[in-house]
Structures are given as structure tokens and as C-alpha cells.
């Protein structure tokens, strides 16, 4: 096959590059089979290519091109990572764009699509706003580089070349050196393209171009007479008017006749010298406005944007102007305050936007104005915006967008620029008063328990309240009334700048999830989908001060249905000291931090002890015993400076020697810690210490009394978060050695509370540590009742302050008549996974196909919905929703009885239940404890689908943990909660063959190798991709039956309990709690 083009698909051997002057002889050559001079002979690669590629773009016009050869319908995933402003596109052979991503000035651009044609597709990386940039492109399909050999060639006056548009949306550029005043004719001729010719002259004010002046057989050739405004290198750019055209053209540069009239070039704008660098004067073409802006920034097109002009420098810094007649917005009476409401509403709908500061100012002409500062693009970018209104009608705003790390350096220049704004020739209207206060909002600042009622404006997609305010720490109730007669709505409160991303995730979650991704950590509170005339409500603790956003995530509603919740500091909610908080618990297996390996023990240990670092309620790493730390350039050496005021409970100061001794005790073989290798094994010398080969840790060095240094075996970005787990906590050596066997019953810790009393089976009492270096707790004490009892009954009888609501009690507590209903709070989902573990060294679980058959035989959706009441989310894999590296489109095991039976038949047991050895499922609990309903349903599914029987065995919690560590349980039911926010805390700790928490003895050498590589991968996005691959391998091998991830839970909290933080991980929290009347 052949094509009329300078570019060859498939078996194309010939092409035409034609002008009206040479079309006939060239066609004759084609017909006779001769080669045609001047055609591109560059074959498109039809196979191959790596999955990753690095590149550098050296010009605004430069494009990196990769060919992807995949069949129709193939899934193509692309991601480009760059510190520069790049854009990513995927086009089919006709030039149709099927992936387009240009959402940030730096960072990641990505997209996924299916191959639209059974023909090559083209991945393009471009520079939308700068002149140079490097990138890293990653794909799930081969990327075959395609270099446009014509780009960047130098031309001479008098030269004619034959060139071609090689792929859809190709941009060819050539360089031409000209002296000042030199005049040339530039022409582009083609029979099968509609060429557009541009000359880029950055030394002056921009570029000039032509489309059809050159005539030609179809009247579409281009011609331009250009006179150089100065001696410089100029760029000749050739594109196709349709953007999708592929074919040849002839480009000529010749000396222009003496009488030629060059294209009119605007006179350069005068450059102004200022203390903040050279500036140019921006003069509005519509209104009498002027403002100084940085000189030499390139002006960009604004088609389709809600701005009048925008300028960018070669590093991607942006300056934008917006001007509008506000009466066109449907209101004839405007003020600066009303206009700011509109501006903020637009900004708050922008993904990644978070308002940081708002300042009312007066310009040099006495005009009232507002300046706002905000973060954008996931806090990578800082924006500063100046807004003014003229004559209560014309709105003007000027904005700068720069990388966060450059903001402080450039902010003085921005302030100077804003100060130069002037209105020429018109008087300043005194009717616009200087703003004295923030716009009116629905405010509930004077209540500890504010109730916010929200409805809708008729059947429109708008909330009737879109600006709300509550005090930080308040117990907020939101009542949503769906007043629409036709539309369904939900309500979701999210972290700043995440509104639209949360909505996209909700769309992917689908209608069964009520268009909300359950477990999304960006969600603070939510009300599920309501039909017309329905009502719903949610109660939650107001987060820390800031501006948050709420929206409806029903598909498409988020674009107009949104608002803001401003959380403000309030003296009304100042914490008070005193009182006792009472909770229900059970006897912990241990109170020794170094052997703690379960959530129950950790809850107490976190409050009594501490380590170098800890987690805040917002899951942010923060100092504890360490005041600060430095990390070496190679990422391996951590030097900690200790606080000079950190003390043990007896008042003795904590020193570096205490840290050293504690870490060496935790890793001593006599301590018998099952988790020391997991949390401290990155330190050089710890493996040898655990094996008893050394008495000290090689990578641990005490520099002085308040400085200690840890050296790792490799750079690991998650290392500090591992130190927040109790294994790394500090102990008092004298306290431990004085009573080695039960010292932890009278421990001398460093945490916010002291262990005052422990009566096994009865009570644990924690008392306030007045010496606590981060500030003593507000509570006098915390009491954990250890005896059995129904939590909801005890809560109702005022025996405890906080109660989980079990499945059996949930319906009654949620009933409208129940007086407890106003005390229900909604928790975020715990970062956890529930599972049935399989010991792959014991039959029948040593057979991979049998394990896969078990997974296919369970209808998780049915069990989650009809047996567990929608309180859990069926798990495809290991990582919970919202957790770093979570991938919603993993290939899990769908319910498929036929496939389950087929795999059972292909196993060594040949589909015969009589061939299967006895199976015993061990669960934690007393002999009288009921078996969970989901476990019963799963066993019933296996019985009905595969004909196999499973016996239940119970084991007390402490004994159960010991048996798991010995790996002598055939099959077990377990839950795992993240100890720190990194996928390593799930995938590596639970599945590496050498991990002590690999309770099913799963071993895969390839997986081990990938896990070890992921530990030290410095690029976070690549690291998460590695973990995605690892998780899929685990799913395919089926060493588990993953069952559930938690969704939001309902708990009861007494009205007088404040700052009881509800977080998705177990961290120290009780020091923040206080009681109020």
C-alpha cells in the first residue's frame, strides 16, 4: 500500500511532496517506481520501544514524539514527570486527541485511553509555556522514539528545501540568521497541506504569520515578507491549518525585492527600569487601565480562557490580566465585595486552590482593592491576585502564579506591580468604599455544636448556602435537605483544593457507592445520595482553621454545586483542664513498646511512651523527643538534635544515651521482638544485632548528650515514619533493669500520660504527665474499663464517654426516635484490610490454583451489602482506598463459580472435595465468642460452590498472635492496620519472604527483589508504580483471600467531649482531648 504523503504507515513506499510547478514530473516518477528526490524516507517504527524514556526539549516549538503500536482497543497508560511545565498528548493516526493533560506548571501529567485505530498512535510531550524542559515519560506500552530530523535546521537566504508534516499536529521549525533591516520572502508550497507560516522574533514583541497569501493550486500556500527588526536568530515555523494534515511541502527563503512591503511589526514596548527589574507597561485595549508587568515575558494566546491577557517567562512563571463588565453577569448593582464573592467562587472551584490570605488595601490613586494569596496545584504553586472595581461596574484583576519555593523571592516584585495600577483619564468614583470586613457568610461561630442546614435552589444544581463558617474543634452537624423535585444529590466536605479530584474518584466508584469513593482520605465528612424530598445529616469534628470545600459528587454536579466551609479560631472553644475520660477496652497482650505488634497494645503504649518523632492528628510527621534533624545529601544519614526539656515521668532528662540503649534493647535477641527487624532493620548493623552477632548497632552513634546519628543501609524515604511506631520508643534503662519481667507495670515513660494503675481484667488508669515536653494533656486521667460489656449500653448508662456502634446496635441507634442519635459522629475509614490468610506451606494451600478457586467462589458484594449492611467495601487487593499507591483498577477476583470450579478441577485435588485435606480456620476469640457473620457466609460459599468443608477453631488474642508469629496456623482470619502512611507498611511487611509478619510463609523471589528495589526508589511516582505491580503479583498468586476495607464508621461521643480526633490510623491522640460543660 502507498499513501500521498511524506510519511509512511504500514507498507507505504512512496509519497508526494508537491507544488504546482513540479507535480506532473513527480507523479511520473512515482508511477514509474522511481525514488522521488526530497521525500522523507524516515520509516515509522512499527514495533518495539521501552516502557520509560527521558528527554529534553530545547525550544518552545520542540516536541518529543513516540510511536505506540498497539491493536484496536488496547489500553494505553501514559505519565510524564517533570520539574518544568510540560504537556502530554496521545493522538491517533488521524490527529484526533484521545489523551490531553496540561494541569500544572510542574509535576505529573497523565492519562489513559484505548487505542482508537488499528494503526500507530503518537505520544507527544510539549512545552506549553517555556523554552526548555526535561521530562521522564512512562507507559504501559512500548514507546518507540520518532525524531523529526528537520526540526532545528539552519537555513540560508536563497535556499529551498523539501520537508514534510510527519505526523498529526506536527510542528516543523527552522532557524534563520538575519541582520537588522534584512528583508526576505519566505514561502511554503504544498498540494496536500494547508500550510501556516510563522516567524517567531523573540528579540522584539512576538511573531508574525500568514496562512493563504501564497496562493497555489488550491489557494492555500503561505507567503510572508519579513524585515528583521534586529540582528538575531529567527525561527521559521510551519504547521498545517487542520492540525491533522500529513504530507510534504517546499520551503523557500529568498531575498525580497527592493519594493517589497514587509509585514507590519509593532514598535517594541518601552522598557522601564525599576528596583525590581525591567518592567513593561500593560495598557488595556478595552478600558483605561494600565499596570506594570515584568519585561520580556512572552505573551500567550488566551482563546477559550476567562482572561484578557497572559504572559509567561522561560521558567513558567505566569502573569495574567482579567477585565470584564460585571453587569454582563446578570446584576446591575455591584460593589468590590460582591465582585470578590464571584472571584472567590470561581477560584474555589479550581482544583488544588486553597485560600491562604486576604488583605484589603488602597491603591496610590485611593482606589480600594483586595489582594489574595492562595496555593494551587496541590500546594506546588503560589498565586497572588490583585482585584479592583471601577465605577461599581468594571472588574479588573492581575495575578501572578509561581512555584511555591520561588514565592518569597518574587513577592516584592508582585506587590510593586500591583501598586502601579492606574485608571487613566477617568475620575476615581468615591461610591466604592474601602472594604472593612470579609463578605457575609452563614456563621455558626458562637456554638460548640453548630448545626448547618443546606438545601438547593429549586431544581438547579446549586446549594442555597455556599459560604459557611464554624469554629475549629466544634462538633458540627450538617443537615442536607434535597429540596429538588427531580435531582439526586449528596454532600461531601473535602480537603482544600481536592473538590474536583474527589468528584472524579466518586464517578469512578459508581452509583453503588453513591458516587463517593469510600475511604478517600481527602473526604472529611459526607452525606450519602438523597432522592428528591429526602433529608440526611452528618456530624463531625471541625478540622483545624482553614478554608475547606464541599460539593456534590453526582456526575457533573461538582462544576456548579459547591461551596466553602471556613473554620476559624474561637476563644469560645478554648480547652479546659481536668476530668476523667472513660473508654471500654480489653487487656492488651503487652505494654512493652519494643514487642508491641498489635493495635490494642499500641493504643496504650502510644500514650505512655514516645520516640524521636510522632504523628499529628493530620497524619503529618512532627518532632517528639527530637527537636530537629538533618538528612545527608545521599539520604542515608539522619542526625537528630534532642530537646533539652524532654523528661521521663520521674523528671530525669532524656539523653542520646537513652535513645541508643533503647534501640539496642529493641534489637537484642533476648527481647524477642517480632517486629524489630521490620521497623528498625534499615539501620546498618541491626540485622547483625538481631542475629546475636554483635552487641551494638554499627549505624548508631552518640555524638553528644543531645545529638544522635543513625546511618541506613540505603536511602529510604519512609524511614522517619517507621520511627513513629513503638519499636523505636525510648525506655528508662534503670526502670527496665530493676524489674526485667514486669517493669512495664510501673513504667517510667516519656509520653503525655503515666500508667497509674493496671488491674488485669478490670481497669487501666492513665494520669496526666505534668512534665510532658509538648505540653501537658488537658485531662486529669483516662480510664480503660477492661471487663466485658455491651459498649452502647454502657454509653447509654453514662459509664463510658465513647462507644463503637456494633452492627447489631446500629439500626436502633440510627433510628429517628433514639435520643442517642444527636451524639453520633462519623469516622474516616481506617487504613486497613481484613483478610483470610493461607499458609502456603501446608496443603491444600500449597496449590496456587486451589487458592485462586477459593477467591473466585466468594460473592463479596452480596456479603458486604446484605450481610454487613454496606459497612465495608469489598477488597480487590491489599492497599485500602485513599492510601498512598492505591490503584482502584487492579485485577481482583470477581465472583465466578464456574471459574472457581474449573480452577479447583485443574488443581492437584482434581475438583474432588474428598481429595482435599481437612481445613481449619483459626479466629481470635473465646470459645463462647460468636463467629462473625461474614466468615460464616464465606464458608457457606465454599461449601456450595466447591463442596469443601471448613472447621472453625478459636484462640485467645494473645495466643493467636503467638501462633501467627510461629507460622503454625493453616488458615486464619486477620485484619491489618497501617502503622505509617506508606505502601511499604502493607506490601513489604506482610509479603516479603523474610518478614516476621509474613504469617502465611508466602515466598516469591521475584517479588522480594521488586520489594527491595521499591524501598530505595527515590522517585515517588515510580515507586508507587512499582508497588502497583507488586500488589498485582500478590493478587495473582493468591496467598490471601482479601475480604474488606473499612468504610466510614459511626461512633457515639458524649457531648462534653471535645477534640477527640477521629483518624484512619492508630497514633497518640488523647493529649488533645478535653471535657467541657
The full DSSP string for 487-540 is --EEEEEE-TT-HHHHHHHHHHH-GGGTTS-TT-TTEEEEEEEE-TT-EEEEEE
Asked whether residue 313 falls in the same domain as residue 416, the answer is yes
B/e letters for 707-726, b = 16+ CB within 10 Å, e = fewer, are ebbbbbbebbbbbbbbbbbb
* pLDDT mean over 815-823: 82
Model confidence at 40, pLDDT cuts 50, 70, 90, reads: very low
Mean pLDDT, the chain, as a whole number?
Answer: 84
Give the per-residue pLDDT at 131.
60
Q: Which of left, alpha, beta for 230 (phi over 0: left; psi -120 to 50: alpha)?
A: beta
Mean pLDDT for 829-854 is 94
370 part of a folded domain: yes
Highest mean pLDDT among 84-88, 140-144, 354-358: 140-144
Q: Look at 289 and 595; give whichever has higher pLDDT.
A: 595
Q: Are residues 888 and 1020 in the same domain?
A: yes
Strands 172-178 and 1057-1058: unpaired
Q: What is the C-alpha to C-alpha distance for residues 12 and 1031, in angstroms, rounded to an integer?
A: 43
What pLDDT, on the 0 to 100 scale, is given for residue 37?
43
Do 489 and 476 share a structural domain? yes
Q: Are residues 959 and 1032 located together in one domain of the fold? A: yes
Q: Above 70 in pLDDT, residue 53?
A: yes
244 and 290 fall within a common domain: no
Residue 843 belongs to domain with CATH number: 3.10.105.10
For residue 638, being part of any structural domain is answered with yes
Confidence of residue 1055 (pLDDT cuts 50, 70, 90): confident
- Please indicate, yes or no, whether residues 238 and 286 belong to a single structural domain of this protein: no
Question: Span 383-409, mean pLDDT?
Answer: 87
Summarised one tens digit per residue, pLDDT across range 863-880 is 988 888 777 889 999 999
Q: What residues make up the domain containing 380? A: 279-423
Q: Please tell me the predicted confidence (pLDDT) of residue 34.
A: 47
Quickly count: other Cβ atoms within 10 Å of residue 193's Cβ: 28
Residue 239, in any domain of the structure? yes
Judge whether residue 753 has pLDDT over 80: yes
pLDDT at position 30: 44
Q: Which of 25-29, 134-138, 398-402, 829-833 has the lowest mean pLDDT?
A: 25-29
User: Is the model's pLDDT at 664 over the cut of 50?
Assistant: yes
Confidence of residue 154 (pLDDT cuts 50, 70, 90): confident
Q: Verify that 306 and 187 share a domain, yes or no.
A: no
Whole-number pLDDT of residue 578: 92
Q: State whether 488 and 361 are in the same domain.
A: no
Enumerate the β-bridge partners of residue 923.
954
pLDDT in tens, 411-434: 888 988 998 888 875 443 333 333
How much is the pLDDT for 433?
A: 33
Distance CA 23, CA 218 (A): 13
Local confidence band at 9 (pLDDT 50, 70, 90 cut-offs): very low
Sheet of 318-325, strands arranged across: 298-300, 309-312, 318-325, 394-403, 381-390, 368-376, 354-362
- Please tell me the predicted confidence (pLDDT) of residue 202: 52
Cβ-contact 154, 174 below 8 angstroms: yes
In a domain, 18, yes or no: no
Check residue 847 and give its pLDDT.
96
User: SS3 sequence, 765-831?
Assistant: EEEECCCCCCCCCCCCEEEEECCCCCHHHHHHCCCCCEEECCHHHHHHHHCCCCCCHHHEEEECCCC
Q: How confident is the model at residue 378 (pLDDT cuts 50, 70, 90)?
A: low
Query: According to DSSP H, which parts of 697-777 are helical?
Result: 719-722, 733-738
491 and 343 part of one domain: no
Among 442-446, 521-525, 956-960, the least confident range: 442-446
Number of domains making up the chain? 6
Cα-based distances in Å from 84 to 57, 81, 124, 312 = 10, 9, 15, 13
Indicate whether 106 pLDDT > 90.
no
Percent of the chain with pLDDT over 70: 88
Which whole-number Å values give the CA distances from 833 to 149, 491, 874, 978, in the listed order?
A: 53, 26, 10, 9
Containing H/E element for 938?
A: helix 933-946
Q: What is the CATH number of the domain that holds 203?
A: 2.60.120.380
Q: Which CATH number does the domain housing residue 662 bear?
A: 3.40.190.10
How do residues 900-943 score in pLDDT, each as one tens digit? 999 999 999 999 999 999 999 999 887 767 778 899 999 999 99
Q: Give the pLDDT confidence score for residue 218 in this predicted structure.
A: 64
pLDDT at 158 over 80: yes
Task: Examine the domain organization and report whether 614 and 703 are in the same domain.
Answer: yes
- The pLDDT confidence band at residue 27, using thresholds 50, 70 and 90, is very low
What does the pLDDT read at residue 206? 56
Highest average pLDDT, of 226-230, 568-572, 1021-1025, comes from: 1021-1025
Q: Looking at the structure, tell me whether residues 477 and 607 fall in a common domain.
A: no
What residue ranges in 404-514 does DSSP mark as E strands? Answer: 422-423, 442-443, 451-454, 467-471, 475-481, 489-494
Residue 285 binned pLDDT confidence (cut-offs 50, 70, 90):
confident
| pLDDT at residue 852 tops 60 | yes
Instruction: Tell me whether residue 460 is in a domain.
Output: yes
Q: Does residue 3 lie in a domain region?
A: no
Whether residue 797 lies inside any domain: the answer is no
Per residue, what are the HEC states of 567-627? EECCHHHCCCCCCEEEEECCCCCCCCHHHCCCHHHHHHHHHHCCCCEEECCCCCEEECCEE
Whole-angstrom distance, CA of residue 78 vs CA of residue 52: 10
pLDDT > 80? residue 1007 = yes
Query: Which residue among 145, 171, 205 closes a domain?
Result: 145
Tally: H helices and E strands in the chain: 20, 57
Tens-digit pLDDT profile for residues 69-83: 888 888 999 998 887
State the Cα angle at 276 between 272 and 277, rounded to 5°: 50
Look at residue 337 in the predicted model and tell me its pLDDT. 80
Q: Are residues 307 and 222 in the same domain?
A: no
Q: Is the pLDDT of residue 478 over 80?
A: yes
Amino acid at each position: 500500500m502507498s499513501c500521498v504523503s511524506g510519511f509512511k504507515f504500514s507498507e507505504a513506499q512512496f509519497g508526494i511532496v508537491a507544488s504546482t510547478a513540479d507535480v506532473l514530473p513527480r507523479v511520473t516518477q512515482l508511477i514509474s517506481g522511481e525514488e522521488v528526490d526530497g521525500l522523507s524516507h524516515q520509516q515509522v517504527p512499527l514495533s518495539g520501544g521501552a516502557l520509560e524514556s527521558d528527554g529534553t526539549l530545547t525550544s518552545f516549538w520542540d516536541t518529543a514524539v513516540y510511536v505506540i503500536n498497539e491493536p484496536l482497543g488496547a489500553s494505553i497508560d501514559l505519565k510524564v514527570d517533570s520539574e518544568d511545565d510540560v504537556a502530554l498528548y496521545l493522538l491517533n493516526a488521524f490527529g484526533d486527541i484521545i489523551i490531553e493533560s496540561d494541569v500544572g506548571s510542574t509535576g505529573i501529567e497523565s492519562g489513559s485511553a484505548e487505542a482508537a485505530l488499528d494503526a500507530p498512535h503518537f505520544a507527544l510531550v510539549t512545552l506549553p509555556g517555556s523554552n526548555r524542559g526535561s521530562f521522564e515519560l512512562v507507559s504501559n506500552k512500548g514507546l518507540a522514539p520518532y525524531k523529526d530530523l528537520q526540526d532545528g535546521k539552519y537555513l540560508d537566504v536563497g535556499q529551498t528545501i523539501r520537508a514534510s508534516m510527519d505526523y498529526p499536529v506536527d510542528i516543523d521549525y527552522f532557524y534563520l540568521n538575519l541582520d537588522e533591516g534584512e528583508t526576505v520572502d519566505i514561502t511554503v508550497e504544498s498540494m496536500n497541506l494547508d500550510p501556516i507560516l510563522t516567524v517567531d522574533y523573540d528579540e522584539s514583541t512576538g511573531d508574525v504569520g500568514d496562512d493563504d497569501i501564497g496562493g497555489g493550486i488550491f489557494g492555500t500556500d503561505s507567503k510572508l515578507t519579513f524585515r528583521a527588526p534586529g540582528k538575531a536568530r529567527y525561527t521559521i515555523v510551519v504547521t498545517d491549518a487542520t492540525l491533522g494534515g500529513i504530507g510534504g511541502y517546499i520551503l523557500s527563503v529568498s531575498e525580497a525585492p527592493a519594493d517589497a512591503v514587509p509585514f507590519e511589526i509593532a514598535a517594541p514596548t518601552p522598557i522601564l527600569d525599576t528596583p525590581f527589574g525591567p518592567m513593561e507597561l500593560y495598557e488595556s485595549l478595552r478600558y483605561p487601565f494600565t499596570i506594570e508587568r515584568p519585561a520580556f515575558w512572552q505573551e500567550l494566546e488566551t482563546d477559550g480562557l476567562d482572561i484578557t491577557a497572559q504572559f509567561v517567562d522561560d521558567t513558567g512563571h505566569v502573569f495574567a490580566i482579567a477585565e470584564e463588565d460585571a453587569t454582563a453577569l446578570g446584576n446591575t448593582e455591584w460593589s468590590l465585595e460582591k465582585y470578590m464573592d464571584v472571584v472567590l467562587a470561581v477560584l474555589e472551584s479550581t482544583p488544588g486552590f486553597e485560600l491562604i490570605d486576604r488583605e484589603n488595601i488602597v491603591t496610590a490613586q485611593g482606589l480600594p482593592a483586595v489582594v489574595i494569596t492562595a496555593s494551587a496545584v496541590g500546594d506546588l504553586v503560589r498565586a497572588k491576585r490583585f482585584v479592583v472595581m471601577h465605577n461599581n461596574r468594571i472588574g479588573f484583576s492581575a495575578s501572578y502564579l509561581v512555584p511555591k519555593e520561588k514565592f518569597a523571592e518574587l513577592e516584592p516584585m508582585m506587590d510593586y506591580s500591583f501598586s502601579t495600577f492606574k485608571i487613566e483619564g477617568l475620575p476615581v468614583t468615591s461610591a466604592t468604599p474601602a472594604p472593612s470586613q470579609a463578605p457575609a457568610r452563614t456563621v455558626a461561630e458562637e456554638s460548640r455544636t453548630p448545626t448547618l442546614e443546606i438545601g438547593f435552589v429549586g431544581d438547579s444544581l446549586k446549594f442555597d448556602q455556599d459560604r459557611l463558617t464554624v469554629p475549629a474543634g466544634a462538633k458540627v452537624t450538617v443537615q442536607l435537605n434535597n429540596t429538588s423535585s427531580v435531582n439526586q444529590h449528596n454532600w461531601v466536605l473535602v480537603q482544600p483544593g481536592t473538590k474536583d479530584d474527589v468528584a472524579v474518584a466518586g464517578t469512578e466508584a459508581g452509583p453503588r457507592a453513591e458516587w463517593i469513593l469510600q475511604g478517600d482520605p481527602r473526604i472529611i465528612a459526607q452525606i450519602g445520595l438523597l432522592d428528591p424530598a429526602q433529608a440526611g445529616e452528618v456530624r463531625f469534628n471541625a478540622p483545624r482553621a482553614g478554608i475547606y470545600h464541599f460539593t456534590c459528587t453526582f456526575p457533573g454536579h461538582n462544576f456548579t454545586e459547591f461551596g466553602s466551609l471556613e473554620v476559624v479560631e474561637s476563644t469560645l472553644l478554648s480547652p479546659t483542664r481536668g476530668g476523667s475520660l472513660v473508654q471500654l477496652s480489653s487487656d492488651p497482650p503487652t505494654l512493652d513498646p519494643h514487642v508491641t505488634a498489635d493495635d490494642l497494645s499500641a493504643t496504650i503504649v502510644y500514650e505512655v511512651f514516645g520516640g524521636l518523632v510522632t504523628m499529628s492528628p493530620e497524619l503529618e510527621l512532627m518532632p517528639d523527643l527530637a527537636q530537629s534533624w538533618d538528612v545527608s545529601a545521599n539520604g542515608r544519614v539522619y542526625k537528630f538534635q534532642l530537646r533539652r526539656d524532654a523528661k521521663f515521668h520521674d523528671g530525669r532528662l532524656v539523653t542520646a544515651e537513652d535513645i541508643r540503649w533503647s534501640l539496642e534493647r529493641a534489637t537484642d535477641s533476648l527481647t524477642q521482638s517480632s517486629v524489630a527487624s521490620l521497623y528498625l532493620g534499615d539501620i546498618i548493623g541491626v540485622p547483625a544485632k538481631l542475629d546475636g552477632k554483635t552487641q551494638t548497632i554499627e549505624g548508631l552513634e552518640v555524638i553528644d548528650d543531645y545529638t544522635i546519628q543513625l546511618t541506613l543501609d540505603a536511602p529510604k524515604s519512609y524511614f522517619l515514619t517507621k520511627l513513629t511506631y513503638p519499636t523505636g520508643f525510648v525506655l528508662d534503662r534503670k526502670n527496665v533493669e530493676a524489674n526485667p519481667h514486669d517493669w512495664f507495670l510501673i513504667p517510667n515513660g516519656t509520653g503525655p500520660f503515666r500508667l497509674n494503675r493496671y488491674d488485669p481484667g478490670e481497669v487501666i488508669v492513665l494520669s496526666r504527665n505534668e512534665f510532658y515536653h509538648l505540653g501537658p494533656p488537658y485531662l486529669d486521667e483516662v480510664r480503660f474499663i477492661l471487663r466485658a460489656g455491651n459498649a452502647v449500653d454502657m454509653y447509654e448508662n453514662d459509664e463510658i464517654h465513647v462507644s463503637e456502634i456494633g452492627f447489631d446496635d446500629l439500626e436502633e441507634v440510627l433510628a429517628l426516635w433514639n435520643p442517642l442519635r444527636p451524639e453520633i459522629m462519623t469516622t474516616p475509614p481506617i487504613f486497613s484490610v481484613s483478610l483470610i490468610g493461607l499458609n502456603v506451606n501446608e496443603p491444600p494451600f500449597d496449590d496456587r490454583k486451589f487458592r485462586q478457586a477459593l477467591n473466585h467462589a466468594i460473592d463479596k458484594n452480596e456479603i458486604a451489602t446484605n450481610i454487613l449492611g454496606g459497612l465495608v467495601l469489598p477488597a480487590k487487593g491489599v492497599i485500602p482506598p485513599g492510601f498512598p499507591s492505591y490503584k482502584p483498577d487492579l485485577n481482583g477476583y470477581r465472583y465466578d463459580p464456574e471459574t472457581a470450579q474449573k480452577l479447583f478441577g485443574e488443581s492437584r485435588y482434581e475438583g474432588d472435595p474428598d481429595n482435599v485435606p481437612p481445613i481449619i480456620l483459626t479466629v481470635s476469640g473465646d470459645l463462647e465468642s460468636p463467629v462473625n457473620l461474614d466468615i460464616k457466609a464465606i464458608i457457606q460459599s465454599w461449601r456450595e460452590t466447591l463442596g469443601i468443608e471448613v472447621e472453625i477453631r478459636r484462640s485467645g488474642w494473645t495466643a493467636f498472635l503467638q501462633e501467627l508469629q510461629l507460622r503454625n496456623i493453616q488458615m486464619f482470619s486477620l485484619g491489618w492496620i497501617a502503622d505509617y502512611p506508606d505502601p511499604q507498611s502493607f506490601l513489604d511487611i506482610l509479603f516479603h519472604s523474610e518478614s516476621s509478619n509474613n504469617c502465611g510463609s508466602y515466598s516469591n523471589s521475584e517479588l522480594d527483589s521488586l520489594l527491595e528495589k521499591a524501598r530505595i526508589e527515590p522517585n515517588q511516582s515510580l515507586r508507587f508504580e512499582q508497588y502497583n505491580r507488586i500488589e498485582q503479583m500478590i493478587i495473582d498468586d493468591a496467598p490471601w483471600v482479601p475480604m474488606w476495607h473499612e468504610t466510614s464508621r459511626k461512633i457515639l461521643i458524649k457531648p462534653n467531649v471535645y477534640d477527640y480526633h477521629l483518624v484512619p490510623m492508630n497514633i497518640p491522640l488523647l493529649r488533645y482531648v478535653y471535657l467541657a460543660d
